[in-house]
Amino acid sequence: MSNAGMSIGIPDLEPKGLWNHFYRLMQIPRPSGHEAAVREYVAGVAKNLGLQSMVDNAGNVIIRKPATPGMENRRGVILQAHLDMVPQKTAGTVHDFEKDPIDAVIDGEWVHARGTTLGADNGIGIAAALDVLSSDTLCHGPLEALFTANEEAGMTGALGLNPGMLNGEILLNLDSEDEGELFVGCAGGLDGTIRFSYSSVSVPPDCTGVNIMVTGLRGGHSGMDINLGRGNANRIMNRILHMGVDRYDVHLASIDGGSLRNAIPRESTVLLAVPSARMEWFLEELQTMAASISSELMQADPGLRIEAEPVEVPEMVMDDEVVKRLVETVSACPDGVCGMSVEMNGLVETSNNLARVKSDGSTVSVECLLRSSTKAGMQKLSDMIDSVAREAGSLAFFDHGYPGWQPDPASPILKCMSDIYRGLFGKIPEIRAVHAGLECGIIGAICPGLDMISFGPTIRHPHSPDEKVNVASVQKFRDFLVATLEGIPE
């Protein structure tokens, strides 16, 4: 069912060209790995404008626009954004991210979706680049737009970019989330996974079935929000399992916690078989534990709910020895902030998101996303997780790594954009690095010598159903982008 009536007004926001493209993007489902339709839309815009475009083997779209007459000697600029969005929704929201449009609303100074992620990360960046390409009044040098695939689930588009595909000398990444700040560095990332194979065994006699559910957490971006002290549903559920296994001989039939590596896990569910004679005591201690954890997270995550629901007794449960190893592994696995930067005050240097704990009938996996702005920090963290796995009689597997982006204080585009921002808004922009994975590190390694800056409007709570974008900041972001393109030197 179309949500056009529900989202009326969004295409009329200023700047209209940008918001109109963003509104159209909201109608196109584009979770990671399902970007064919948005690729077709972006390429279609280029075709309608008579611009040169191509799709490479990694699913990236590259569009080229000639310079405004008289500006052919300006340095070439690459506008870069990613095509996919993070698919997250609240427990009560019915939404198929592969089929349904985003239902968004203007709420005062913000635009947000109803019960799902909005896709402003990085839909606003796509819309801004398309707005620039569509303009016949904006003055600029040679332009390229690079729309990368699958950024949120492994950055495979950026990693698959072939050297020599881009002609520009300056890359403007449109994927940051704080207007008035210029980002000059980011963390690298690495996927880590620990797997346990298990045998299913019959449930012991005289057991009762119960579902335990952890819900209501805020979640959020596993890099940008990792320092906010929010609850991790997998960590909370593991505390419950540790108590149940250790003191009440509970048996685990299945577990499903978290959803995406780059989102702080908001929910977890387990199916247990509990000895009937101990069920009352188990539930009493669970209630006490729930009150204690809620008190711990009262400031950071006041919506936490821990609930127990009686269900039919499962026919089979996991081998108890594997469950003990799983609980010990999750207990020992690093989670959250692991180290702070010495060079940049207040910047997280190294972190781990204990993102996913899931069983499938024969294997239970613990999935993490490691981040660090230094090679040494990443190595230290991966060694710790490897040691945790080995202690539990398993192995850790690491893949889909991507490099960080080291700040260049002598960057010419940094000075140019700082001066332009001060001229527009009367203040100097803040210069920052970010504890998140931007594609600048990957693209810069493939295309050495690029001068790079990342910037964007103000977006809050990306990677969660609370995601929202500030309307006024989008106008400032667009004005700054236009002025920057007009001011690029020769």
pLDDT above 50 (res 3): no
pLDDT above 60 (res 5): no
pLDDT above 80 (res 315): yes
In a domain, 5, yes or no: no
Q: Taking Cα atoms as reference points, which of 350, 347, 355 lies closest to residue 382? A: 350
Percent with pLDDT over 90 in the chain: 92
Residue that is last in its domain, among 383, 402, 421: 402
Which segments of 108-150 are extended strands (E)? 110-113, 143-148
- Tell me how far apart the alpha carbons of residues 78 and 421 are, in angstroms, rounded to a whole number: 19
CA distances from 129 to 78, 145, 147, 376, 474 (A): 10, 7, 9, 36, 13
Looking at the fold, whether 359 and 471 belong to one and the same domain comes out as no
Mean pLDDT value across residues 37-51? 98
Band (1; pLDDT cuts 50, 70, 90) = very low
Tell me the average pLDDT of the chain. Answer: 95
- Residue 206 gets the label, from left (phi > 0), alpha (psi -120 to 50) or beta, of left
| CATH number of domain containing 159 | 3.40.630.10
Looking at the fold, whether 210 and 183 belong to one and the same domain comes out as no
Give me the pLDDT at residue 178, please: 95
Catalytic residue from among 84, 144, 152, 349: 84
Band (153; pLDDT cuts 50, 70, 90) = confident
User: Which residues span the domain enclosing 132?
Assistant: 10-187+404-487
Catalytic residue from among 151, 335, 367, 451: 151
Band (345; pLDDT cuts 50, 70, 90) = confident
- Tell me how far apart the alpha carbons of residues 174 and 485 are, in angstroms, rounded to a whole number: 13
pLDDT above 80 (res 424): yes
Cβ atoms 74, 141 nearer than 8 A: yes
Residue that is last in its domain, among 377, 402, 427: 402
Any catalytic annotation for residue 391?
Answer: no
- Tell me how far apart the alpha carbons of residues 189 and 191 are, in angstroms, rounded to a whole number: 7
Looking at the fold, whether 320 and 429 belong to one and the same domain comes out as no
In a domain, 2, yes or no: no
Of 197-211, 336-350, 358-372, 475-489, give the lowest mean pLDDT range: 336-350
Give me the pLDDT at residue 8, please: 53
Give me the pLDDT at residue 50, please: 97
Looking at the fold, whether 272 and 331 belong to one and the same domain comes out as yes
Looking at the fold, whether 120 and 232 belong to one and the same domain comes out as no
Looking at the fold, whether 26 and 124 belong to one and the same domain comes out as yes
Any catalytic annotation for residue 84?
Answer: yes
pLDDT above 80 (res 389): yes
Higher pLDDT: 311 or 4? It is: 311
Give me the pLDDT at residue 409, please: 84
Residue that is last in its domain, among 381, 402, 423: 402
Percent with pLDDT over 70 in the chain: 98
- Tell me how far apart the alpha carbons of residues 481 and 129 are, in angstroms, rounded to a whole number: 9
Looking at the fold, whether 209 and 160 belong to one and the same domain comes out as no
Cβ atoms 195, 265 nearer than 8 A: no
| CATH number of domain containing 198 | 3.30.70.360
In a domain, 356, yes or no: yes
Looking at the fold, whether 386 and 303 belong to one and the same domain comes out as yes
pLDDT digits (tens, 9 = 90+) for 433-447: 999 889 999 999 999
Band (2; pLDDT cuts 50, 70, 90) = very low
Looking at the fold, whether 134 and 151 belong to one and the same domain comes out as yes
Give me the pLDDT at residue 342, please: 85
- Tell me how far apart the alpha carbons of residues 347 and 334 are, in angstroms, rounded to a whole number: 18
Domain count, the chain: 2
pLDDT digits (tens, 9 = 90+) for 165-179: 999 999 999 999 999
Looking at the fold, whether 389 and 435 belong to one and the same domain comes out as no
In a domain, 4, yes or no: no
In a domain, 3, yes or no: no
Looking at the fold, whether 17 and 95 belong to one and the same domain comes out as yes
Looking at the fold, whether 85 and 170 belong to one and the same domain comes out as yes
Give the CA dihedral 430, 435, 441, 442, nearest 10 degrees. -140
